[in-house]
Amino acid sequence: MNTKSSLANELKDKEYRHAFVASQIRIGLPLQCRALREGRGWTQPQLAQAANMSQPRISEIERPGERKLNIETLLRLAEAFDVALDVRFVTFRDLVDAADKLDLDKFFVNSFNEDLADLENEEIWAKAKHSLSSSAPRLKEMQDDLSEIDAYVLGPQKAERMDNLRKMPSSILCGNTGNQLAGEGEKGLCA
Amino acid sequence: MIFCDKVVKWRLYEYVSPLERHSITEWRNGLKTAARKADLDTFLRIQVKIRDWVAPSVKPLSGKRWKGLFELRWKSDGVPHRIGGYFAAPDEFVMLIGFTHNANKYDPSEALEKTILQRKRQIQNGEASLSEYKVIFGQ
């Protein structure tokens, strides 16, 4: 919250700031409820059925300021949407910041199953990352081992030997001598 | 105002009378209780962040005389509160008058019958002007 903002100025009045808190519930929650329902592609009757309420009651709940929403009603709606409900005491600053950041066009609260799937995906990814990072030293060791084997098998004069082989006539190369050379690791030159 | 530029999708304007009276600001400041002021502020603060304005928060006024006019709707202290106006552009709403109504009684009484139509006409004729309404934010 910006202390110079017009809202901060209004909140200096105690009556207003407590009315502001109430308005987040009376005005803000109905609009959130509608956004949640529309986000799931539900009609009012569908939400009514899920919450075990009548459709006219849902219609009332979604009208800003129409009715006082009690905790029981909110809990039933939370259960219908399968989302959590967070009721707690906070600073005015936190409340104002949350209200400012709320963007109903992007407002979507995952249901438990969607939340769980996200969580599981995050865990799988975290494990994969951990596994990769813990494998890195071993991979480096294996790479070093392979380099050593390569050097041992092919020898330090590999390039020179390859040049000599290329200069030889193919008839010699593919004869006994060539086969002996090829047997040392240069197969494929006769192909 | 970086935050607002990102999230706010609507610009609100209010009718300013030939005597330079800001219709919505004055109506808001004259509301009877802090609760009504806070509800109005919260309603507009959320509404300007919603791309699609749909019922029940926004409805067209019914009747030929009011064609093209809409009302923003919420209830405060058990009383229906309305702001009447029209869309000036896809993301601009002009607020002409704020009023309440209970059991078909409007306050002010001629809000719909006379004032809203008169004000719209005055703006079209250039007799009155518009001013951007500053929605109350914390940032």
Choose among B109, B88, A185: nearest CA to B97: B109
| pLDDT(B133) > 70 | yes
Per-residue burial over B8-19, b = 16 or more CB atoms within 10 Å of its CB, e = otherwise? bbbebbbbbeee
> So what's the ipTM on this one?
0.88
Asked if residue A178 belongs to a domain, the reply is yes
Q: At B131, is the secondary structure helix, strand, or coil?
A: strand
Chain A positions in Cβ-Cβ contact with residue B51 (cut-off 8 Å): 105
pLDDT value of residue A121: 83
Same-domain pairing of A57 and A136: no
Q: Is the peptide bond between B56 and the residue preceding it cis, with omega within 30 degrees of 0?
A: yes
Average pLDDT, chain A: 81
**Distance of alpha carbon B88 from alpha carbon B123, whole angstroms:** 11
Q: Return d(Cα B47, Cα A31) in angstroms, integer.
A: 9
How many structural domains is chain A composed of? 3
Same domain for A14 and A83, yes or no, is: yes
Residues A85 and A145 occupy one common structural domain: no
Handedness of CA A77, B35, B73, B14 (dihedral sign): negative
Looking at the structure, tell me whether residues A149 and A172 fall in a common domain: no
3-state SS string over B56-112?
CCEEECCCHHHCCCEEEEEEECCEEEEEEEEEEECCEEEEEEEEEEECCEEECCCHH
| Residue numbers in B near A13 (CB within 8 A) | 34
Mean pLDDT of B62-75: 94
Number of residues assigned to chain B: 139
Residue of B nearest to A66 (CA): B75
Q: For an interface test with B, which of A10, A27, A31, A58 has the most B Cβ atoms less than 10 Å from its Cβ?
A: A27
Residues A29 and A53 in one domain: yes
Placement of tokens 């006539």 in the chain: A169
Buried b (16+ CB within 10 A) or exposed e, B42-58: bbbbbbbbbeebeeebb
Same domain, A100 and A15: yes
How far is the C-alpha of A41 from the C-alpha of A39, rounded, in Å?
A: 5
Same domain? A23 vs A116: no
pLDDT value of residue A84: 94
- CA B44, CA A28: separation in Å to the nearest integer? 10
| Spatial distance between the Cα atoms of A35 and A106, rounded to a whole number of angstroms | 9
Collect all residues of chain B within an 8 Å Cβ-Cβ radius of residue A100: 3, 7, 137-139
- Same domain, residue pair A67 and A128: no
Find chain B residues with C-beta within 8 A of A39's C-beta.
none
Nearest CA among A56, A92, A70, A55 for reference residue A25: A70
Number of other residues whose CB lies within 10 A of the CB of residue A146: 10
* Closest CB to A2 among B33, B37, B138: B138
Q: Tell me how crowded residue A38 is: count the other CB atoms within 10 A of its CB.
A: 16
Q: For residue A188, tell me if it sits in a domain.
A: yes
Over residues A82-106, mean pLDDT? 90
Domain shared by A147 and A163, yes or no: no
The pLDDT score that the predictor gives to residue A107 is 79
Residues A128 and A160 in one domain: no
In a domain, A119, yes or no: yes
Helix axis angle, A71-81 relative to A44-51, nearest 10°?
110
Cβ-defined contact of B9 to A105 (cutoff 8 Å): yes
| Dihedral (CA of B32, A90, A10, B42) sign | negative
Q: Does B37 touch chain A if contact means CB atoms closer than 8 Å? A: yes
User: What is the full DSSP assignment across A126-153?
Assistant: HHHHHHHHHHHHHHHHHHHHHHHHHHHH
> Do the domain assignments include residue A1?
no
Pairing type for strands B79-89 and B70-76 reads antiparallel
What's the domain range around A131? 112-154
- CB contacts < 8 A, A to B, total 100
Same domain for A102 and A59: yes
Digit-coded pLDDT (tens) for A64-76:
999 889 999 999 9
Indicate the domain borders of chain B: 10-132
In a domain, A140, yes or no: yes
The least confident of A11-15, A169-173, B78-82, B108-112 is A169-173
| CATH at A76 | 1.10.260.40
Residue B68: the pLDDT is 94
Cβ count near B105 (within 10 Å): 8
Residue A48 within any structural domain of the chain: yes
- Distance spanning both ends of chain B, measured CA to CA: 7
Q: How confident is the model at residue B24 (pLDDT cuts 50, 70, 90)?
A: very high
Residues A57 and A99 in one domain: yes
